[in-house]
Amino acid sequence: MSDWWIVLAVALISFLMTAVLRRYALSRSIIDIPNARSSHSVPTPRGGGVAIVLAFLVAIPLLGWLGLVSTGMLIAVGGAGVMVAVLGFMDDHGHIAARWRLAGHFAAAAWALFWMKGLAPLTVFGWDLHLGLIGNVLAAVYLVWMLNLYNFMDGIDGIASVEAICACLGGCLLYALSGHQDMIWLPLLLAVAVGAFLLWNFPPAKIFMGDAGSGFLGVILGCFSIQAAWVQSSFFWAWLILLGVFVVDATFTLVRRLVRGDKVYEAHRSHAYQFASRQFGKHLPVTLAVAAINLVWLLPIALGVVLYGWDGAWALVLAYVPLILLAIKFHAGELERS
């Protein structure tokens, strides 16, 4: 029997679970109420990203049972994903102090890195780097930043879902074309789970993802890139390129706010995508623009790295420069004008 029934099962679970979570959020008044720092104008239930988490986690033992993914990788993403999702779920229902959230995030990163054997040697601008313990520390910081930046970037309808789908399907294409079809299963199933949720989250959203879903996506996508680096260094750079829209907007905004002396842990709406959504007066054009950038610009560069041997670090620079210019154009990190 073909193993592809898992794809349909994940899609169905994610879609139906989102409907259940929406009813639950409405009954418990788990609602995002618009305020001065919001990018939406209509009260909307939140926490729907738990459907993505559950649908993906249900598939993990099946993938292990069928021998489609290594046990170490399944334990890594399963354990780290659960820790991050539980913290996010608790924060969605109340409030957890930032220091405890951060401690939990580093614990999840350490768990994942232990099972994935840390950071692989990387080729950087033509140099082979074996960073050892320092590399593992940097990898932990990287995973924590990935899950937090994904949380920061989940601010308008559909954007976090579209980014995850584009990155995951882009990764699947890279694996298929380079002869690594065995690596497709995890990103494919994550894309399917997110795609089913997107049917509820597409502008105008009927439910928001919430911290549980966005943090989960960030850490899982980060794990995909670190896992891929053990197969070949070019895959790591390709994942960073595919995730460029979120990495650049979030990092550029954070740096600008740090330089200005803002309290970076406070809510704000100064990301480039938020300025753009206010400029266009709608979320949909910005969400579709993110999809277009991924497909037309970032995916071809990632293909060049994996299939044609382009230097990954230089390709990353090439991919990110226009994104930085876009961040500047749309005032990323600037104070909002009255």
Residues in binding site for Mg(2+):
151, 211
DSSP 71-96: HHHHHHHHHHHHHHHHHHHHHHHS--
Q: How many CB atoms lie within 10 A of CB 113?
A: 22
Strand 31-32 and strand 44-45: the pairing is antiparallel
Q: How far is CA 314 from the centre of its chain?
A: 23
DSSP 150-203: HHHH--STTHHHHHHHHHHHHHHHHHHHTT-GGG-HHHHHHHHHHHHHHHHHSS
Residues annotated in the binding site, as ranges? 151, 211
